[in-house]
Amino acid sequence: MEKILVGLKRVVDSNIRVRVKSDGSGVETEGVKMSINPFDEIALEEALRIRERGDASEVIVVSIGGTETQQQLRTGLAMGADRAIQVEIDHAADPLTCARILLALVNKENPGLVMLGKQAIDNDNNQTGQMLAELLGVGQACFASKVELADDGGKATVTREVDGGFDVVEVDLPAVITADLRLNEPRYASLPGIMKAKKKPIKEVTLDSLGVDTNRKVVWHTFSEPPVRQAGIMVPDVPTLVAKLRDEAKVI
């Protein structure tokens, strides 16, 4: 296998409390720490391990968004990716738009494997990988907790955690694999890696050059904080509890 393509999404860091903008137009990102989506970071780590085993020769990271996404691409390069592609887009892309953009890049780069996080922690859609596989007409193995490649590089065996056990699937390559939490523990970018990342190329690509249909199927109109949770009450005995569950909560 020559190439592995890995998608990296820029999201609010998982340790930061998300706040909605005062006008309800979106999530507050000004002055907020942004990071690579954790599941995408796991996907990148797996791609790097595959390359280090000699089963791939190049790892390419891709991010969709404004120039600010180059920060996450540099982190990916510092972790060990060989080169990066930033697709310039001036609005929030829904999963189908992301899948169409990745489709165009796959057709240009011809990777043997596409690896994505199973979902992004900001919208939790869990759709892009499946849509991309359908558009490409290739196999998909989602929620991977273990990935093994055949010696001839023609197949991948993917273990997935399901309720009550494990599900093992085999897909022909090229394929789309999405990473679950237990697939691996991503490495930290080393100082030499950070220095090398400054010299690695980031290719800036426009939507026009890809010929992608950006007609969104999903549009976000407004955002709001979840309702404040009401404080609980103390009851003196079980009969009072039962009465409140029956008369006020209407659950019995």
- CATH number, domain of 163, equals 3.40.50.620
Chain mean position to CA 140: 15
Does the pLDDT at position 215 exceed 80? no
Count up the domains in the chain and report the number.
1
Confidence of residue 212 (pLDDT cuts 50, 70, 90): confident
Say what the pTM is.
0.84
Does the pLDDT at position 249 exceed 80? no
| Contact assessment for residue 20 and residue 27, using Cβ atoms and an 8 Å cutoff | yes
Give the span between the Cα atoms of 230 and 1, in whole angstroms: 56
Confidence of residue 199 (pLDDT cuts 50, 70, 90): confident
22: amino acid identity, one letter: S
Residue 146: CA count within 13 A, CB half-sphere: 11
Does the pLDDT at position 153 exceed 80? no
Q: Considering the domain boundaries, does residue 252 fall inside one?
A: no
Q: Could you tell me what percent of the chain has a pLDDT over 70?
A: 100
The whole domain housing 166 covers 3-247
Confidence of residue 25 (pLDDT cuts 50, 70, 90): confident
Give the span between the Cα atoms of 133 and 182, in whole angstroms: 22
Residue with more model confidence, 176 or 213:
176
Q: Considering the domain boundaries, does residue 127 fall inside one?
A: yes
DSSP states of 26-82: SB--TT--EEE-HHHHHHHHHHHHHHHTTS-SEEEEEEESSGGGHHHHHHHHHHT-S
Q: Considering the domain boundaries, does residue 238 fall inside one?
A: yes
Residues with Cβ within 8 Å of 15's Cβ and at least 6 positions away in sequence, in order, are 33
Confidence of residue 75 (pLDDT cuts 50, 70, 90): very high
